[in-house]
Amino acid sequence: MPTDPARVKLTDSGNPEKCPVWQLHKVYSDEQTQDWVVDGCTKAKMGCVECKQPVIDAIKDELMPMQERIEKYQSDPELIKQIIFEGSEKARSVAKETMAEVREVMGITY
Protein backbone atom coordinates (compact mmCIF):
# COMPACT_ATOMS: atom_id res chain seq x y z
CA MET A 1 0.00 0.00 0.00
CA PRO A 2 1.40 3.40 -0.87
CA THR A 3 2.09 5.68 2.04
CA ASP A 4 2.86 9.38 2.50
CA PRO A 5 4.46 10.49 -0.79
CA ALA A 6 6.61 13.01 1.11
CA ARG A 7 8.50 10.16 2.76
CA VAL A 8 10.86 9.16 0.00
CA LYS A 9 13.69 8.28 2.36
CA LEU A 10 13.55 6.85 5.85
CA THR A 11 15.01 10.10 7.21
CA ASP A 12 12.23 12.22 5.64
CA SER A 13 9.55 13.30 8.06
CA GLY A 14 5.98 12.55 7.11
CA ASN A 15 2.43 13.59 7.82
CA PRO A 16 0.05 10.82 8.89
CA GLU A 17 -2.94 12.78 7.58
CA LYS A 18 -1.56 12.39 4.03
CA CYS A 19 -1.06 8.65 4.40
CA PRO A 20 -3.86 6.13 3.67
CA VAL A 21 -2.46 3.83 6.34
CA TRP A 22 -3.33 6.47 8.93
CA GLN A 23 -7.03 6.03 8.10
CA LEU A 24 -6.67 2.34 8.99
CA HIS A 25 -4.87 3.24 12.22
CA LYS A 26 -7.84 5.42 13.17
CA VAL A 27 -10.07 2.35 12.87
CA TYR A 28 -7.86 -0.43 14.19
CA SER A 29 -5.30 1.14 16.53
CA ASP A 30 -5.68 2.25 20.11
CA GLU A 31 -4.68 5.75 21.20
CA GLN A 32 -1.22 4.67 22.34
CA THR A 33 -0.44 3.12 18.95
CA GLN A 34 -1.79 6.16 17.14
CA ASP A 35 0.45 8.42 19.22
CA TRP A 36 3.39 6.14 18.39
CA VAL A 37 2.57 6.42 14.68
CA VAL A 38 2.30 10.22 14.74
CA ASP A 39 5.55 10.56 16.65
CA GLY A 40 7.42 8.02 14.54
CA CYS A 41 6.17 9.38 11.23
CA THR A 42 6.51 13.11 11.85
CA LYS A 43 9.96 12.73 13.41
CA ALA A 44 11.17 10.05 10.96
CA LYS A 45 11.81 7.59 13.78
CA MET A 46 10.41 4.63 11.81
CA GLY A 47 9.77 3.47 8.31
CA CYS A 48 6.43 2.98 6.63
CA VAL A 49 6.67 -0.80 6.79
CA GLU A 50 7.04 -0.63 10.57
CA CYS A 51 4.04 1.71 10.73
CA LYS A 52 1.86 -0.79 8.82
CA GLN A 53 2.56 -3.76 11.10
CA PRO A 54 0.12 -2.86 13.91
CA VAL A 55 -2.66 -2.45 11.34
CA ILE A 56 -1.80 -5.80 9.75
CA ASP A 57 -1.86 -7.48 13.16
CA ALA A 58 -5.18 -5.86 14.11
CA ILE A 59 -6.84 -6.88 10.84
CA LYS A 60 -5.56 -10.44 11.20
CA ASP A 61 -6.93 -10.55 14.75
CA GLU A 62 -10.31 -9.30 13.55
CA LEU A 63 -10.46 -11.86 10.75
CA MET A 64 -9.42 -14.82 12.92
CA PRO A 65 -12.90 -15.65 14.31
CA MET A 66 -14.42 -15.48 10.81
CA GLN A 67 -11.71 -17.73 9.43
CA GLU A 68 -12.28 -20.21 12.24
CA ARG A 69 -16.04 -20.27 11.55
CA ILE A 70 -15.57 -20.80 7.82
CA GLU A 71 -13.20 -23.72 8.39
CA LYS A 72 -16.09 -26.12 9.11
CA TYR A 73 -17.62 -25.31 5.72
CA GLN A 74 -14.34 -25.54 3.84
CA SER A 75 -13.59 -28.91 5.36
CA ASP A 76 -17.07 -30.33 4.64
CA PRO A 77 -18.43 -29.47 1.17
CA GLU A 78 -21.38 -31.81 1.77
CA LEU A 79 -22.52 -29.53 4.60
CA ILE A 80 -22.74 -26.64 2.12
CA LYS A 81 -24.76 -28.77 -0.29
CA GLN A 82 -27.11 -29.76 2.56
CA ILE A 83 -27.62 -26.14 3.59
CA ILE A 84 -28.37 -25.16 -0.01
CA PHE A 85 -30.79 -28.08 -0.41
CA GLU A 86 -32.67 -27.24 2.78
CA GLY A 87 -32.84 -23.56 1.84
CA SER A 88 -34.12 -24.44 -1.62
CA GLU A 89 -36.84 -26.63 -0.13
CA LYS A 90 -37.98 -23.84 2.19
CA ALA A 91 -37.96 -21.30 -0.65
CA ARG A 92 -39.86 -23.69 -2.92
CA SER A 93 -42.55 -24.15 -0.26
CA VAL A 94 -42.98 -20.40 0.28
CA ALA A 95 -42.96 -19.76 -3.49
CA LYS A 96 -45.63 -22.41 -4.01
CA GLU A 97 -47.92 -20.75 -1.46
CA THR A 98 -47.26 -17.31 -2.95
CA MET A 99 -47.98 -18.46 -6.49
CA ALA A 100 -51.22 -20.12 -5.36
CA GLU A 101 -52.28 -16.83 -3.79
CA VAL A 102 -51.29 -14.88 -6.93
CA ARG A 103 -53.26 -17.26 -9.18
CA GLU A 104 -56.31 -16.98 -6.93
CA VAL A 105 -56.19 -13.17 -6.92
CA MET A 106 -55.78 -13.13 -10.70
CA GLY A 107 -58.63 -15.59 -11.11
CA ILE A 108 -56.55 -18.21 -12.92
CA THR A 109 -56.96 -21.05 -10.48
CA TYR A 110 -57.83 -24.40 -11.99
The model's pLDDT over 41-50, given as tens digits with 9 standing for 90+, comes to: 999 999 989 9
Quickly state the pLDDT bin for 27 (edges 50, 70, 90). very high
pLDDT recorded at residue 1: 76
Considering only CA atoms, which of 49, 66, 72 is closest in space to residue 40?
49
**Is the per-residue pLDDT at 2 higher than 80?**
no
Does residue 39 register a pLDDT over 90? yes
Residue 77 vs residues 59, 81, 82, 84, 110: alpha-carbon distances, Å: 27, 7, 9, 11, 42
Give tens-digit pLDDT for 51-101.
Answer: 999 999 999 999 999 999 999 999 999 999 999 999 999 999 999 999 999
